[in-house]
Amino acid sequence: MAETLTAAVDILKQNKLKLTKQRHALLEFLLTNQGHYTDIVAVDAYMRTEFPGMSHNTVYRNLKEFEEVGIVEQNTEQERTRVKYQCDFHHQHHHHFICQNCGKVTELQMCPMDFFAEQLPGYDITGHSFELYGICADCKAAGVSESLVKN
């Protein structure tokens, strides 16, 4: 965890962002939950508990800045915005499998864009988002089926 925190601090410095007490606490919170996306409302609630005078805008601005410099990944599902600590600082472009039961995030090692680009000759693809959802192996072994998934 210390190496990952050091990497994030280095990224902040490279982008001329100060490491405040609040940003340090936010990084630590994200690191303790790095294997899962966390609802942005829960991140806000945690930060405002730790720093009662902190505004919602400050929390959201810091998360946005973290996303812009590649420390945080953002995901929106069913109109809920969630964030997680970056999986891989060296390969920021990647995709995930997300367990719909426990929320575990598994990084996928392949991007399907070449497949789609071949089907769209002459088109300019300007961006994409690709995630797989289902039940992870641990939840499946524990007897969780798709019909029992949390919503």
- Cα separation, 50 vs 43, in Å, equals 11
Q: Do 1-85 and 95-148 share a fold?
A: no
Residue 151: strand, helix, or coil: coil
Task: Confirm or deny that 136 is annotated as ligand binding.
Answer: yes
- pTM to 2 decimal places: 0.68
> Are 54 and 45 a contacting pair, CB within 8 Å?
no
Residue 27's contacts (CB-CB under 8 Å, 6 or more residues apart) are: 5, 8, 9, 71, 85
User: 44-53: long-range contacts (C-beta < 8 A, 24 or more apart)?
Assistant: 47/22, 50/25, 51/21, 51/22, 51/25
- Which is more confident, 127 or 26? 26
CATH architecture under which domain 1-85 falls: Orthogonal Bundle (1.10)
Tokens standing for residue 140: 């499946």
Q: What does the pLDDT look like over 5-51, one tens digit per residue?
A: 888 899 999 999 999 999 999 999 999 888 788 899 999 999 999 99
Domain ranges of the chain: 1-85, 95-148
Q: What does the pLDDT look like over 61-107, one tens digit per residue?
A: 999 999 889 888 887 777 788 888 775 555 556 677 778 888 788 77
| CATH class of the region 95-148 | alpha beta
Task: Confirm or deny that 102 is annotated as ligand binding.
Answer: yes
Task: Confirm or deny that 87 is annotated as ligand binding.
Answer: no
What HEC string does 85-110 produce? ECCCCCCCCCEEEEECCCCEEEEECC
- Cα separation, 55 vs 64, in Å, equals 14
Task: Confirm or deny that 111 is annotated as ligand binding.
Answer: no
pLDDT classification of 151: cutoffs 50, 70, 90: very low
- Cα separation, 59 vs 44, in Å, equals 6
